[in-house]
């Protein structure tokens, strides 16, 4: 049982005096911890599969609560996976079964990793205020320099776009540096105030098949 997790790390805005190209890793580290101190937040992205585009929505309540909802042309409605501390559930249409311990352990490990507070971060540069998805956002970019390339279409980057009003991330985009390159993955962050992840009552234990 594999979940469609992405890194939950989010980045805060750099100080106004930071110039484009300045290393802002310290600001990034501070911001990740800020996001993880929130009561809850949401991550959304789409992923191509053999059956068509699947959409993932993951609600997190640190330190160890998660509700993942997946919709796909190959699935009969929404498929959900839930973690509430040391208990995991799977279901659809609001009906859940509690998962066996061997499945729960792997989900606990993945959620713990996604919500872990990093102690060190390097390599994020300020790119200044930019327009993205019709919003004025502050950008931070990490460029893969482990394998130097001259072809911009082969240079992989992760860019975090932050809402300067809240200091919270709006988008996390993986793409190449090629001009007008289509993102390989675009993750959207949001902060609904009504997220509440509670274990379902009287959920039967899933039978091994």
Instruction: List, for residues 187-203, the tens digit of each pLDDT value.
Output: 999 999 999 999 999 88
Instruction: List, for residues 25-58, the tens digit of each pLDDT value.
Output: 877 777 778 888 899 999 999 988 888 899 999 9
Over the chain, what is the mean pLDDT? 85
* Overall average pLDDT of the 106-131 stretch: 90
Do residues 5 and 155 lie in contact, with contact meaning Cβ atoms separated by under 8 Å?
Answer: no
pLDDT of residue 83: 98
């Amino acid at each position: 049982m594999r979940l469609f997790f992405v890194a939950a790390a989010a980045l805060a805005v750099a100080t106004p005096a930071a110039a484009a190209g300045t290393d802002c890793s310290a600001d990034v580290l501070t911001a990740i911890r800020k996001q993880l101190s929130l009561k809850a937040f949401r991550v959304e992205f789409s992923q191509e599969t053999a059956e068509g585009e699947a959409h993932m929505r993951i609600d997190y309540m640190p330190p160890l609560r998660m509700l993942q909802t997946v919709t796909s042309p190959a699935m009969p409605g929404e498929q959900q996976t839930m973690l509430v501390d040391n208990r995991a559930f799977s279901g659809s249409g609001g009906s859940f079964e509690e998962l066996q311990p061997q499945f729960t352990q792997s989900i606990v490990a993945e959620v713990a990793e996604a919500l872990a507070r990093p102690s060190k971060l390097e390599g994020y540069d300020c790119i200044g205020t930019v327009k993205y998805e019709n919003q004025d956002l502050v950008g931070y970019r990490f460029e893969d320099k482990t394998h130097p390339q001259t072809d911009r279409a082969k240079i992989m980057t992760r860019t975090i776009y932050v809402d300067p009003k809240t200091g919270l991330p709006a988008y996390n985009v993986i793409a190449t540096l090629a001009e007008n390159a289509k993102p390989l993955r675009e993750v959207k962050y949001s902060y609904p105030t009504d997220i509440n992840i509670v274990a379902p009552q009287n959920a039967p234990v899933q039978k091994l098949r």
